[in-house]
Amino acid sequence: MNTKKKALTTTILVCIIAAILFFIVFSPEKEIGPGTVQPAAEPQRSPRSTVTAEVRIVTKSYNAVGTLIPASQARIEPQVTAQVTEVLVQAGDLVDKGEVLVRLEGERLNAKLSQARQSLQTAIAQREQALQNINGADAAFSQAKSSYERIKTFYEAEAATEQELEQARSQFLQTKAALQRSRDALAGAAAGIHLAEEMVEEARISNNYATIAAPAKGEILKRLIDPGDMAMPGKPLLILRTTDALQLEANVRESLMSKVRSGDTHSVYLTTLNTTVKAVIDEVVPSIDPQTRTFVIKASLPDIEGAYPGMYGKLLIPYLEVPVILIPSAAVRRSGQLELVTVRSGDGWQERYVKTGNVYADKVEILSGLEGGELVVVDERENDGR
């Protein structure tokens, strides 16, 4: 009896294993071709709507990377060499025209002014002395001249000797030379006064330069110096933004030189603000950088809330028209790193792998997987979160 049960159990197990092997070996199976997945006899879901993959001519744009800069700014530089004693502003401060920004050490400048004024007084005293010398020299010259002429007359009348004539003549020439020296000294004193007056004016102006004020109303962008530093001409102390207007300064590849002209309007995309605005090209630098093979442009931006100098931006320069395949973004589903669309295939629907490109409003470019003209499913439930 036990032997019969064991034989029956063995027979049943053999039949089950044979049935499983038959199902595995002879079950129908279709291969998945490139760009597709296993098609289903019926749609895997009920589509809300379908659209046709369209072929449209679009304009390709070059993204010229740039930076926002102030449309107008001033470099605050000293006019004299002096030590900084006080800086009254910080970056971001708003200032009015004439407001004091920096003070420089004034003792040396004051000493220079005092020295110049003393030199002026000395020159004036020298002129007074020269005037007195001229008066004395002129009187001596007049007397010597009269004596010489009188003795010369006596000599001609044989009433004076030749020695007396020579003495009178020598005295006349000496006083004449002394008078000329006095006049030269007066002229030198006058020149000294003029030079001293210029030195006084220069020192006075330099003394005024010890206080540095804002040349216009604006905002401090950068502070480049601190108390104790040495200020000197040519070395900026502050950068002042004098208007709220901004420009985009961008580098454009040399092959697009003919595509950009002053006065043109192009789009600018600001990455940080995630916004696109229209900008007018103000300046095109007609020179190519041999290192980067690019040229520089500057474009004026409209008022943009939240935009600041130094922000990153892209100037979009259209340069080529090409055909692209577009479908609604809602037609593309993502599974991990894969992108899929549902395409009409014969009487059924088929899942197909695609690769997307640029986005145009609510549509997306299909780089591969579609040829245009296919009917694809737009499943609105993807966007509804259901």
- Going by the DSSP 8-state scheme, the letter that residue 110 receives in this structure is H
In 3D, which of 304, 315, 319, 262 has the Cα closest to residue 66? 315
**CA torsion through residues 170, 175, 181, 183, sign:** negative
* Predicted confidence (pLDDT) per residue in 267-291, tens digit: 999 989 999 999 999 999 999 999 9
Among 100-114, 197-211, 301-315, 366-380, the least confident range: 197-211
**What pLDDT is recorded for position 153?**
77
Using DSSP's 3-state secondary structure scheme, residue 263 falls into coil
Amino acid letter, residue 228: G
Indicate where the chain has its CATH 1.20.120 domain(s): 107-208
Using DSSP's 3-state secondary structure scheme, residue 220 falls into strand
Q: Please identify, in words, the CATH class of the domain defined by 107-208.
A: mainly alpha
* Predicted confidence (pLDDT) per residue in 287-332, tens digit: 999 999 999 999 999 988 888 888 999 999 998 888 999 999 989 9
Q: Please identify, in words, the CATH class of the domain defined by 63-70+242-319.
A: mainly beta
Mind spelling out the 3-state secondary structure of 37-61?
Answer: CCCECCCCCCCCEEEECEEEEEEEE
Indicate where the chain has its CATH 2.40.420.20 domain(s): 49-58+323-384
Exposure string over 355-378, b if 16+ CB within 10 A, otherwise e: ebeeeeeebbbbeebbeeebebbb
> For residue 148, what are the contacts with CB-CB under 8 A and spacing of at least 6?
168, 169, 171, 172
Q: Rounded CA gap, 64 and 250, in Å?
A: 6
The H-or-E segment that residue 102 falls in is strand 100-104
Fold of 49-58+323-384: 2.40.420
> For residue 94, what are the contacts with CB-CB under 8 A and spacing of at least 6?
218, 219, 220
* Comparison of pLDDT for 11 and 209, the residue scoring more: 209
Q: Rounded CA gap, 381 and 386, in Å?
A: 5
CB count, 10 Å around CB of 167? 14
* Comparison of pLDDT for 52 and 126, the residue scoring more: 52
Q: Please identify, in words, the CATH class of the domain defined by 76-104+210-240.
A: mainly beta
Indicate where the chain has its CATH 2.40.50.100 domain(s): 76-104+210-240
* Predicted confidence (pLDDT) per residue in 92-142, tens digit: 898 988 899 998 886 666 666 667 677 767 777 777 777 766 777 777 777
